[in-house]
Chain A
Amino acid sequence: MTAPLDAALHRQARLSVSVALALLVGSGLLLLLGLGIGSTGVESLIAMRDDPVALQIVRDIRAPRAVGAWLAGALLGLAGAIAQGLFRNPLADPYLLGSASGASLGVAVALVALGATPHADAWLPRFGLTGAAFVGATAAVFLTLALARGVQQTMRLLLAGVVVGVVLGALGSMLLMLQPAVMLSMQAFMLGSTGFIGWSGCAVMALVWLACTPLAASLSRVLDALSLGEATATSLGLPLPRLRGILVATLALATGAAVAQTGLIAFVGLAAPHLVRSMLRTTHRRFLWLSSLMGGVLLLAADTLARWLIAPQELPVGVLTAVLGGGYLLWLMQRRVAPGVS
């Protein structure tokens, strides 16, 4: 870039880089902290070398849980930024197009099917539920796309998403009514937890994140152009339906992968983009990456606090994401001082 050889625009670029670095450093610190926090405290970290159980706790439980929390948060942060950009609505979150209800219905169906037949293989329950959640979430979004007959108009897509969400949610409730035996397991899923993430779950989420984030970032111009209105974006020669479809697919994949591993954790996808916006304003190319990093830090911080505050017991992580993210946003609204904060 040759034109902005001036301080003002360089400052913006430098700010983005500093925020990204801060978030990465924060993630690293929280990861390290996460290794030392839990029901057995720092003793496990210290005893790691001699005690195989302590080593297992740190390496096979705390480490994948912390990494998994970061990855799930990063996926939700990315999905939230895409949703808010696509719909030009600051209240949009990753669950907007029915993915939450779809995942719940998928898990309910899988639980009923699994319960009906005795299964000797361990793989079926292990992968069945996470797979069912992923398939349910993505299928719901594609159903929304089909109902909206492509992405001709944003309002129609939004409406279809709400309809799909409500209908699938109702179907899920009905299924629970008919098969109350699975109600407890469903509750466990809906509660949302980072407590059961293993290394295989981390691997899946990492793959999805590495695929989705650069893809979405390469389409960031669509989101920028859309902020000027759909007519203007079309007049700029962008094949909007196709590109929006790809963005929606990316949104579905990222949300599905996160929900499959952690259940339904609210607020991360909504808050992460706002937290980034409170620090700087930038084009979507940087914003998507930053929002993803912010989501990772948010969920990792919530998970670490959840394990630390009332150790050896745990708080539900969804409560802490709301307290952390919501609390910071409330404080920002009280301040109303910094320029650039609306």
Chain B
Amino acid sequence: MSAAAVGTSFALQARGIHASLGQVPVLHGIDLDLPRGRWTSVVGPNGAGKSTLLKALAQLIPHAGEVRLLGQSLCDLPARDRARRLAWLGQNESSGDDLSVWDVAMLGRLPHQDWLAGPSTADGVAVEQALRATQAWEWRARALGQLSGGERQRVLLARALAVQADVLLMDEPLANLDPPHQSDWLGVVRQLLTQGRTVVSVLHEIGFALHADDMVIVAQGRIMHQGSCRDPATHRQLEAVFDHRIAIVPVSDQWVALARGAHEP
């Protein structure tokens, strides 16, 4: 972590982000400050532009506007440095069937490796930690193509963890995961937070999204609301953006989203 980054309290700062998919404008002038060391979940209806926002923040699609990572403008940062500090896990990305689980996780160490050098000891340790964190260590020699959807997702998650980046952007990380592993994922995120890392996740499972520290609500390419997940204002905004088809209610010590029928009051 550079000296400049230590002082800032924001992991990512975006100003005036406009982005299009093909000819269709998706993001309309997004300004966003994502705090460091906290977990922010991004929610919103389908087609709101959540994935596009994440990709724009990760510099994966062309966009207008400026993004700063840990205080430094991403335009000035070389790609490798950016890759070391910012990890991205995509949704429905293709995955090669030939590589073994271990090889896939090792790909996460690419930003840290020299061109012609093989994996180092540190790389091996990082990969092992990542695979153990997602309970994928036992089958590290199996090919990706032989795994089920959920197992594959855990390996891809391990790949993102192996980068050991300061900021992790995850788009639908719970896809295909069964409930025990969804809960395990929560544990992984909390672990990352204790290490001082920042997590930003796009989730459509509202219940999990409400476990985060902060929530950003996106609709129609604009930020509708940003606030703490325990703030009632956030809950009301959340209900509003989903046309009041959900109700946020407390259950035990968690907040849960209950579905409402079309004609219920």
Where the two chains meet, the residues of A that have a C-beta atom closer than 8 Å to any C-beta of B are: 1-4, 8-9, 11-12, 88, 218, 221, 224-225, 227-229, 231-232, 234-239, 277, 281-283, 287, 339-340, 342
A237 near B83 with CB under 8 A, answer yes
A227 near B99 with CB under 8 A, answer yes
B100 near A235 with CB under 8 A, answer no
- In the assembled complex, the Cα of A340 lies from the Cα of B145 at a distance in Å of 8
- In the assembled complex, the Cα of A224 lies from the Cα of B144 at a distance in Å of 13
- Give the residue name and chain of the B residue nearest to A240 (CB): B79
Q: Does B26 contact A (CB under 8 A)?
A: no
Q: Which of A237, A281, A287 contacts B143 (CB 8 A)?
A: A281
- In the assembled complex, the Cα of A88 lies from the Cα of B97 at a distance in Å of 10
Q: Which of A11, A228, A340 contacts B104 (CB 8 A)?
A: A228
A342 near B102 with CB under 8 A, answer no
CB-CB under 8 A from A281, the residues of chain B are 98-100, 143
CB-CB under 8 A from A234, the residues of chain B are 59-60
CB A336 to nearest CB in B, in angstroms, measures 14
A236 near B93 with CB under 8 A, answer no
Q: Does B25 contact A (CB under 8 A)?
A: no
A283 near B103 with CB under 8 A, answer yes
CB-CB under 8 A from A1, the residues of chain B are 118-119, 124
CB B96 to nearest CB in A, in angstroms, measures 3
B141 near A8 with CB under 8 A, answer yes
- In the assembled complex, the Cα of A239 lies from the Cα of B82 at a distance in Å of 12
Produce 1/0 per residue, B71-113, CB < 8 A to A. 0000000011111101111100111111110111001101101
CB-CB under 8 A from A237, the residues of chain B are 79-84, 110-111
A3 near B143 with CB under 8 A, answer no
- Give the residue name and chain of the A residue nearest to B80 (CB): A237
CB-CB under 8 A from A2, the residues of chain B are 121, 124
A88 near B94 with CB under 8 A, answer yes
Interface residues on B, range: 35 or more
- Give the residue name and chain of the B residue nearest to A225 (CB): B107
CB proximity to A under 8 Å, residues B150-167: 156, 159, 163
Pairs A–B under 8 Å by Cβ, sample size 11: A3-B102, A3-B127, A3-B128, A4-B140, A231-B60, A236-B107, A237-B79, A238-B79, A238-B110, A281-B100, A283-B103
CB-CB under 8 A from B86, the residues of chain A are 235
- In the assembled complex, the Cα of A8 lies from the Cα of B121 at a distance in Å of 18
* Given A8-B140, A9-B102, 10 new contacts (CB under 8 A): A3-B123, A3-B124, A4-B124, A4-B140, A225-B107, A228-B107, A235-B86, A281-B100, A281-B143, A283-B99
CB proximity to A under 8 Å, residues B173-216: none
B159 near A235 with CB under 8 A, answer no
B100 near A225 with CB under 8 A, answer no
CB-CB under 8 A from B100, the residues of chain A are 9, 12, 281
Q: Does B262 contact A (CB under 8 A)?
A: no
CB-CB under 8 A from A225, the residues of chain B are 107, 110
A9 near B141 with CB under 8 A, answer yes
- Give the residue name and chain of the A residue nearest to B145 (CB): A342
B96 near A88 with CB under 8 A, answer yes
B110 near A231 with CB under 8 A, answer no
CB-CB under 8 A from B103, the residues of chain A are 224, 282-283
CB B136 to nearest CB in A, in angstroms, measures 13
CB-CB under 8 A from A235, the residues of chain B are 58, 60, 83, 86-88, 90
CB B156 to nearest CB in A, in angstroms, measures 8
CB A84 to nearest CB in B, in angstroms, measures 10
Q: Does B125 contact A (CB under 8 A)?
A: yes
**A340 in contact with B143 given A2-B124, A3-B128, A232-B93 (CB within 8 Å):** yes
- In the assembled complex, the Cα of A282 lies from the Cα of B143 at a distance in Å of 9
A9 near B88 with CB under 8 A, answer no
- Give the residue name and chain of the A residue nearest to B95 (CB): A228
Q: In the A-B complex, list the 8 residue pairs whose CB atoms are closest, starting with the nearest.
A: A227-B96, A3-B124, A237-B83, A8-B141, A229-B93, A235-B88, A237-B80, A237-B79
